[in-house]
Amino acid sequence: MTELRDLPARKQKLGQETGRHLWRRVVAGACALAFAMPVVSTPATAQRGKLSLVRDAETEDLLKSYAAPIFKVAGIGNSPVEIILVNDKSFNAFVPDSRRMFINVGVVMEAETPGEVTGVIAHETGHIAGRHLVRLRSAAANAQIMSVIGMILGAGAMAAGTAAGSAGAASGGAAAILGAGSVGQRSFLSYQRGEEAAADRAALKYLNATGQSAKGMLKTFERFAEQQMFSARFADPYAMSHPMARDRYRQLASSAQKSKYFNTPAPRALQQRHDMVRAKLLAYTSHPNAVARAYPRSDRSMPARYARAIAATKSRRRDAIRQIDALIREQPNNPYFYEVKGQALLESGNPKAAVAPFRKAVSLRPNEGQFLIWLGYALVGSNNPAVLPEAESVLKKGLQRDANSSVGYSQLAIAHARQGERPEADLATAKGLMVAGDFGAAKRYAARAQKNLKRGTPAWLQADDIVSYKPPQLKRR
């Protein structure tokens, strides 16, 4: 997560070249590296607001902790729903299909307690479990929303085969942002009022079944109900797309307060994790002055120091390393502190020094794909030919676990190319372009790779899959 820079986006027609040139925003930094949060956007951004999708291992891990028990009691635990973070500070969330839930970072940033986020997840899960999505999809006339779905469906189409050495389509980057279609705040899908009420009831049931309080959910919905007293011009987009009249809130409150868990607070450890992620998101998405106001130096709490350390990476990187090291001394087994340190070193143009903290992060969480990709990134950036075989191995492991990382594929392509493995480099580039949604360029690189790969081998078959891939046609209705 670093400073972002916009590059021009070219408007194209949905259904013809929906996913082309998605990677239009990259991180500015030394060594021309794309760091923690490179942002991408679809060509549709030429007309309306942008939707950028955030990747951050710590935030994702927290949301998974919130969602796992909810998904289990809702009966969808065996078909995991992917929670996708949107780089938007407004309080909003939506589900476009039965496999994906989009949550704005603003949900986490505004929520003071875990229960406020869990309530949103439970509510959206109610829509999934209630099979409200058939009507939702048929009503989705907004082409920008459909471009988001189409891009994501296409992005993962070929990714997972890379490390497994297998062919065929599959779904699947290093603390980075994936590109997505442009969806303005007013483009989030609305539901029928009856379905909203059904989702409310389902959410209460899920929270009660998991022994959690609905107090946080009520706090969120009370805010929405209060906003309806004001002009829609000033209303929260979530409140507008999810109407919550005062009488509906009261009905919800009456049911929620009957639960024996209503006054049960979130576990202290979970609250601490929540506070840390809130601080992190604010620091990465806001100006350092905003961080200083939210977390003044008089605040010596761990979240406050975390936020100030991350804010310092934007301008005072040497001081940032000092602050991060102080955090590490207090929590030497916190992998995210080492990740942040590695990112700061990468951004300062010192990938060789970034290797050690990324190695430590991987040692603490060996199966975190984003950490592995960061390590491979640093190894490639160190410009040491001796470590290229290790970089290749690490990147493949990372992509096996987190297969939608365009950054990971681009670094794997560099590692192959520097070892004289041009066909493999072309194939990795093609896969990265698939993840980025640039299907036309992906096909060109895959075709070039095929010419120099042995026919029938796993690599050749993977290239063939890309060459023959047809993007999903998600038509407006």
Residue by residue, DSSP assigns 26-77 as EE--GGG---S----B-GGGGTS---EEE--HHHHHHHHHHHHHHHHHHT-T
CA distance 418 to 233: 55
The overall average pLDDT reported for the chain is 76
Tell me: pLDDT of 376 over 80: yes
Q: What is the pLDDT of residues 340-359, one digit of tens each?
A: 999 999 988 999 999 999 99
Q: What is the pLDDT of residues 224-239, one digit of tens each?
A: 666 655 444 455 555 5
Highest mean pLDDT among 45-49, 159-163, 304-308: 304-308
First-last CA distance in the chain: 37
The answer to pTM > 0.85 is no
Question: Three-state DSSP class for 180?
Answer: strand
Structure tokens at 34: 């794309």
CA distance 181 to 361: 32
- 32 exposed, middle or buried (CB, 10 Å; 0-12, 13-18, 19+)? exposed
DSSP 187: G
Lowest mean per-residue pLDDT among 45-59, 82-96, 279-293, 304-318: 45-59
CA distance 349 to 370: 20
Q: What is the pLDDT of residue 426?
A: 97
CA distance 410 to 428: 7
Assign 42 a pLDDT band (cuts: 50, 70, 90): very low
Lowest mean per-residue pLDDT among 55-64, 204-213, 382-391, 432-441: 432-441
DSSP string, 251-291: HHHHHHTTSTTTTPPPPHHHHHHHHHHHHHHHHHHS-HHHH
CA distance 211 to 317: 44
